[in-house]
Amino acid sequence: MKVQAYLSFKGNCQEALNYYSDIFDAEIVNRQTYEDKKIDVPSSYRNNLQHAELKGKNIHFMAYDASPDTPLNSGNQIHMSVDVTDNSKGKELFESLSKGGQVHHNYREREWGYFGRCTDKYGIGWMVNYNN
């Protein structure tokens, strides 16, 4: 199991990652825009990042530009992302984390694997991923 941070931005993710890559001597990898994704975002937003990762020595986090209809406030700009190697463990973990909290996306199959997003009862955002 691996737990890592997933940062959310309001359209300036690439700028922020460039900044962080200089500070941490890290590389931006797995850069994907909304361009070819089947996600309902305005055409002016298609070049923004739907997913990217910053990797370097002793640093690895993920980031994206939240879709324009997703409100970002202080406190919800970061989510803990957990990658599991067993789908049943992912489902179990998601159910435990979301119990007493709020489910935003049910843990279910997506085009890249299984995924669920919730806020736990303490207000911490979690993303659970299983990539088969």
Per the prediction, the chain carries an average pLDDT of: 92
May I ask the CATH architecture of the domain 86-132?
Answer: 2-Layer Sandwich (3.30)
pLDDT in tens, the chain (132 residues): 989 999 999 899 999 999 999 999 999 999 999 998 888 888 999 999 999 999 999 899 999 999 888 888 877 788 889 999 999 999 999 999 999 999 999 999 998 899 999 999 988 899 999 997
Q: Given phi > 0 = left and psi -120 to 50 = alpha, else beta, which region is 55? A: beta
What pLDDT was estimated at residue 132? 79
The CA-to-CA distance between both ends of the chain, in Å, stands at 14
* Domain ranges within the chain, ordered by starting residue: 1-72, 86-132
Q: Maximum CA pair distance of the chain? A: 40
What pLDDT was estimated at residue 87? 97
What pLDDT was estimated at residue 75? 76
DSSP track, 31-62 = EEESTTS-----GGGTTSEEEEEEEETTEEEE
Q: Does the fold of domain 86-132 match that of domain 1-72?
A: no
Nearest to 61 by CA among 95, 96, 20, 98: 20
What pLDDT was estimated at residue 36? 83
Superfamily of domain 1-72: 2,3-Dihydroxybiphenyl 1,2-Dioxygenase, domain 1 (3.10.180.10)
